[in-house]
Structure 1
Amino acid sequence: MTTQKLSFPENFWWGSAWSAEQAEGRGETGKAETVWERWYAEQPYRFYNRIDSSITTDHIHRYKEDVKLMKETGHNSFRVSISWARMFPEDGVGAVNPKAIAFYRDLFTEMNKAGIKVFANLYHFDMPAKLQDKGGWESREVVNAYVHFADTCFKEFGDLVFHWFTFNEPLGPILGSYLEDFHYPNLIDFKRGAQAAFFTILAHAKAIEAFKTHGLESKIGVILNLSPTFPRSQNPADVKAAEIADLFYTRSFLDPMVKGTFPSVLIDLLKTYDQLPDYCEEDLQTIHEHTAQILGLNYYEPRRVKARSCAVNPDSPFLPEWFFENHIMPGRRMNEYRGWEIYERGIYDLCMDIKENYGNIEAFISENGMGVANEERFMDETGQVIDDYRIEYIKDHLAYLWKAIEEGCNIKGYHLWTFIDCWSWINSYKNRYGLVSLDLPTQRRTIKKSGEFYKKLSDENGFEYEVDWLV
């Protein structure tokens, strides 16, 4: 076998990411109820071990300690989200909260002093509950409230933030809230989901429009969860199924948010089934004129599909699965804890798609990671998690990322999910993803073996790798 040093470009962004709802805890600053807090109050049994987001990693009280841990694990950049509910604690609008401003300014200042670039995301699934009552992303009123929130953040934190992002995985709340029952308010209604998706894209564009008025040196973009879509075979029926799945799950947000236009084939399909949202020409013009300047790519697994093997029940709700079925590829390698396929080359395929079809826009891997249950099994006598499986996972994906960069992809960094084990929505702490382990009752943080590896990786801006199979 041939071992080679895989070196990354100068000033490569090494870091990780998490969100306000998953890490901060409620704290004492004042905070509106979020949809997650409401859902937990209504259906606590839907959450693993009935653990809510009231404390999580308690980052709001421990951020100085956490910034030190960022440095100890090799971070030169880190993505946070800014809590809309904390910034506007009445109901997501109204008066801005000076205690929230003070907290985020303190956190961002601490990060900058430590040489850690602040990547600030404005929305990570945490809608204020009272705005959800007004229709959530189905409502123009909520779009306007979001733009006001975003504009306030640009004004208050623009001097401290390196790059901005309008949304993390905007497809997630659409799937979870309207199609797949894993986000509040747990509806099954594609057309309402299409409306929410359209207004999310409009909110992205309007936030970028507001950003441009501030004259900041930073860039603004969006973070999308993207999976390359593979047909079961080259049979025309399988290929067609994959094309339609890709339209729904990839191009639906990627095209308008980066190119400023919607795929015509998707428009025609939704029109045929009477699933188009309401909009006006001014909306389309705004979306066309205000697109992402930088793109975050969240990659975890590929999407594999095949032609449907049976007819659709015409009385069932309209869903993307009317046009394809998921394909379980024989021999696939799995993360058995999360139920996701591990396919390292997919990160290369994704980057090449962005290079070839989206103008090679400046981009970075904004999430990639491996969740594992019961990691205490892998603790040594000192209490450190010896997570060689996570180190192997990171190396294998980075090798294909290196290959993509060598072939001209405009990739500027790699952020792992996540920094310290954090609360993971309805899965709570079932699976752990962090470079740093968390003992939830004591809040004790301990750097895992992967955290030590990540520091060395960042310091050396690369790693040794057996490249024979890198094809």
Structure 2
Amino acid sequence: MWKIELLIYSLVIVGTSCSSVNNKKFPDSFLLGTATAAYQIEGAWNEDGKGENIWDRTCHSDPTRIFNNENADIACDSYHKYKEDVALLKDLGVSVYRFSISWSRILPTGYLNEINQLGINYYKNLISELKANNIEPLVTIFHWDLPQPLQDIGGFPNDRIIRRYVEYARVVFDNFGDDVKYWITFNEPKQTCRGGYAALGDAPFINSSGIGEYLCTHNLLKAHAETYHMYNKEFRDKQNGHIGITIDTVWAEPDSKDKADVEAADRLIQFTYGWYAHPVTHGDYPEVMKQFVGERSAKQGFSESRLPKFSKAEIHGMKNTVDFLGLNYYTSVMAKHKNDEEKTAIDWDQDSEVDTYFKPEWPSTASSWLKIVPWGMRKILNWVNKNYEGLPIIVTENGVSENGTTLEDDVRIDYYRDHLSGVRDALDDGVNVIGYTAWSMMDNFEWTRGYSEKFGLYSVDFNDPERKRTPKKSVSFFKQFLATRCLVEESKCVAA
């Protein structure tokens, strides 16, 4: 009971609204920048030896899955325009740039039998350009774009993926590790596993609900842990880098102060963020996940839990395999306990037994899943800090969409200001948050939504063969913020 009372108390002291913008400077050491992903911006889908990945296959073989039958064959053409992009980042004033490496550009078949030097050269040149402009690379090793040959043998639910990923990561560390100090093994693994193997929201669009997402996660986490140990053994003494994983989650606000609803809200976050963060910190899945999935599996007639079990050796090897945690936060939900006595649904979304909804007064965006709830930022940062013993946290994605009809994106300015204020509030709370990279540097290919949803600071004209970049109004705001590290007028800003 005391845990529930403590959680309710924490909700009260953190508050439920952004009443004012924090006027304290961000520390000089705090990493500030923007983020992108390879498949969403690079284009050059089949140039210079790059192999086919699962999103290439989807866009070309089943284009109806993508809004307006669009694809990322050219996207923002950053493969050819990376110097222009770095110049924009330099002008913006970022201290860090988060981008991802395309597995298929490095290993066209997904295997070590073919290493593509031209692909390696591209990332070497990009990193060199960033370093020459005093911008720290924050590199994601895998951001959803699995090589198609590896999907052809089952993808992440096949445990052969573990060794393939470690081999790929070794090539990445060997070629780029001397110049990269911050690594992210996986971006939003919940979307890779839940979206790709259960919910039909992401490539490879396989429906194995209630089973596939758990098998995918189990192997992905093992791949992460083995990569961490491989880095420690082979590279850390020389390269001195930091290894993390980026996990997306909502903040879940209890529908009421009733114990059942407060527990349900926490349980939902355990089923999202905890699903991945708990194993890499504590060695195993959250107890509440093991309990709920196990009980439901038994009632459904399974001989064992649909949530796989780690062996004692795997638990030992999984524990403490991150140097920092990445957090992608965009929105919040209201959460209430779901009375599910039958427990018939075989699905991750039902296993948590939580009902969620948006409050009608929360502002909408161009994305149906994204309501503007800035006070959730401070709360989720406090939750992560409390549950994972003060590990360093980097907010690796945070942003808002609009439809691209105007460059006067005041909604984005307000969104960034209010969410960054929540980050600064969290610093005041003692949360060990060390960086923030806004999503996104520029409009890009937003997966199944194609080019219909715009998250960029810079507009990209996808009808122009040159893919012209044009600053939106938010660039001026972000540039001023990065220069002063203040969210208010500099004369009203106080030292940290």
Same fold (TM over 0.5): yes
Q: Which residue of 1 aligns with 2:39?
A: 21
Q: Does 1:399 align with 2:421?
A: yes
Q: Which residue of 2 aligns with 1:221?
A: 244
The aligned amino acid for 2:39 is E
Conservation of the 8 A alpha-carbon contact between 2:109 and 2:147: no
Q: Identify the match of residue 293 of structure 1 among 323, 340, 350.
A: 323
Q: Identify the match of residue 317 of structure 1 among 331, 336, 346.
A: 346
**1-structure distance, mates of 2:480, 2:489:** 14
1:328-377 CA-to-partner distances (Å, cap 9, x unmatched) read 3343333254442211111101111122221211112111001101x23x
Q: Which residue of 1 aligns with 2:253?
A: 230
Using the size of structure 1 for normalisation, the TM-score is: 0.92
Displacement of 1:280 in angstroms is 3.6
Q: Does 1:284 align with 2:315?
A: yes
Conservation of the 8 A alpha-carbon contact between 2:40 and 2:72: yes
**2-structure distance, mates of 1:82, 1:201:** 19
Q: Which moved more, 1:145-154 or 1:347-356?
A: 347-356
Q: Does 1:113 align with 2:113?
A: no
**1-structure distance, mates of 2:386, 2:263:** 21
Displacement of 1:387 in angstroms is 1.3
CA RMSD of aligned residues (A): 2.1
Describe how 1:32-71 pairs up with structure 2 within 5 A: 32-71=51-90
Fraction of identical pairs, as percent: 28
SS in 2 for 1:229: strand
**2-structure distance, mates of 1:196, 1:393:** 33
Displacement of 1:164 in angstroms is 0.6
Displacement of 1:319 in angstroms is 3.6
Conservation of the 8 A alpha-carbon contact between 1:232 and 1:329: no
Q: Which moved more, 1:93-102 or 1:55-64?
A: 93-102
**1-structure distance, mates of 2:20, 2:270:** 40
Displacement of 1:116 in angstroms is 0.6
Relative to structure 1, the CA distance from residue 278 to residue 264 in structure 2 (aligned partners, 3 Å threshold; closer, same or farther) is closer
**2-structure distance, mates of 1:439, 1:301:** 28
**2-structure distance, mates of 1:38, 1:417:** 25
Relative to structure 1, the CA distance from residue 3 to residue 24 in structure 2 (aligned partners, 3 Å threshold; closer, same or farther) is closer
Describe how 1:355-374 pairs up with structure 2 within 5 A: 355-373=385-403
Displacement of 1:122 in angstroms is 0.5
Q: Identify the match of residue 419 of structure 1 among 427, 441, 463.
A: 441
Conservation of the 8 A alpha-carbon contact between 2:284 and 2:310: no
**1-structure distance, mates of 2:207, 2:260:** 31
**1-structure distance, mates of 2:189, 2:340:** 31
Displacement of 1:300 in angstroms is 0.3
1:2-32 CA-to-partner distances (Å, cap 9, x unmatched) read 8874310113212111111111112522122
The aligned amino acid for 1:419 is M
**1-structure distance, mates of 2:460, 2:342:** 46
Q: Identify the match of residue 146 of structure 1 among 161, 165, 171.
A: 165
Conservation of the 8 A alpha-carbon contact between 1:27 and 1:61: no
Relative to structure 1, the CA distance from residue 308 to residue 357 in structure 2 (aligned partners, 3 Å threshold; closer, same or farther) is closer
Displacement of 1:262 in angstroms is 2.2
Conservation of the 8 A alpha-carbon contact between 1:179 and 1:193: yes
Q: Which residue of 2 aligns with 1:454?
A: 478
**1-structure distance, mates of 2:141, 2:334:** 31
Displacement of 1:407 in angstroms is 1.9
Q: Identify the match of residue 271 of structure 1 among 283, 291, 294.
A: 294
Conservation of the 8 A alpha-carbon contact between 1:191 and 1:277: no
Displacement of 1:82 in angstroms is 0.7
Q: Which residue of 2 aligns with 1:382?
A: none
Q: Does 1:194 align with 2:214?
A: yes
Conservation of the 8 A alpha-carbon contact between 1:347 and 1:401: yes
Conservation of the 8 A alpha-carbon contact between 1:399 and 1:465: no
Relative to structure 1, the CA distance from residue 338 to residue 2 in structure 2 (aligned partners, 3 Å threshold; closer, same or farther) is closer
Relative to structure 1, the CA distance from residue 243 to residue 364 in structure 2 (aligned partners, 3 Å threshold; closer, same or farther) is closer
**2-structure distance, mates of 1:5, 1:241:** 34
Describe how 1:175-186 pairs up with structure 2 within 5 A: 175-183=194-202, 184-186=204-206
Q: Which moved more, 1:16-25 or 1:91-100?
A: 91-100
SS in 1 for 2:24: strand
Displacement of 1:260 in angstroms is 2.8
The aligned amino acid for 1:131 is L
Conservation of the 8 A alpha-carbon contact between 1:245 and 1:320: no
Describe how 1:335-346 pairs up with structure 2 within 5 A: 335=365, 337-346=367-376
SS in 2 for 1:432: coil
**2-structure distance, mates of 1:329, 1:55:** 38
Q: Does 1:166 align with 2:185?
A: yes
Unpaired runs of at least 5, structure 1? 379-384
Displacement of 1:150 in angstroms is 0.4
Q: Does 1:79 align with 2:98?
A: yes
The aligned amino acid for 2:64 is Y
1:90-144 CA-to-partner distances (Å, cap 9, x unmatched) read 3444221111111110110000001110001111011111101212111221110
Q: Which moved more, 1:332-341 or 1:98-107?
A: 332-341
**2-structure distance, mates of 1:23, 1:293:** 28
The aligned amino acid for 1:142 is I
Q: Does 1:430 align with 2:460?
A: no
Residues matched between the structures, number: 457
SS in 1 for 2:211: helix
Unpaired runs of at least 5, structure 2? 1-18, 298-304
**1-structure distance, mates of 2:328, 2:222:** 21
Q: Which moved more, 1:393-402 or 1:275-284?
A: 275-284
Displacement of 1:173 in angstroms is 1.4
The aligned amino acid for 1:254 is A
**1-structure distance, mates of 2:485, 2:262:** 39
The aligned amino acid for 1:461 is R
Displacement of 1:278 in angstroms is 5.8
The aligned amino acid for 1:444 is K
**1-structure distance, mates of 2:368, 2:24:** 29
**2-structure distance, mates of 1:150, 1:97:** 14
Conservation of the 8 A alpha-carbon contact between 2:358 and 2:371: no
Q: Which moved more, 1:22-31 or 1:439-448?
A: 22-31
Q: Identify the match of residue 328 of structure 1 among 349, 358, 369.
A: 358
Relative to structure 1, the CA distance from residue 262 to residue 465 in structure 2 (aligned partners, 3 Å threshold; closer, same or farther) is farther
Relative to structure 1, the CA distance from residue 234 to residue 465 in structure 2 (aligned partners, 3 Å threshold; closer, same or farther) is farther
**1-structure distance, mates of 2:275, 2:430:** 25
Using the size of structure 2 for normalisation, the TM-score is: 0.87
Displacement of 1:39 in angstroms is 1.5
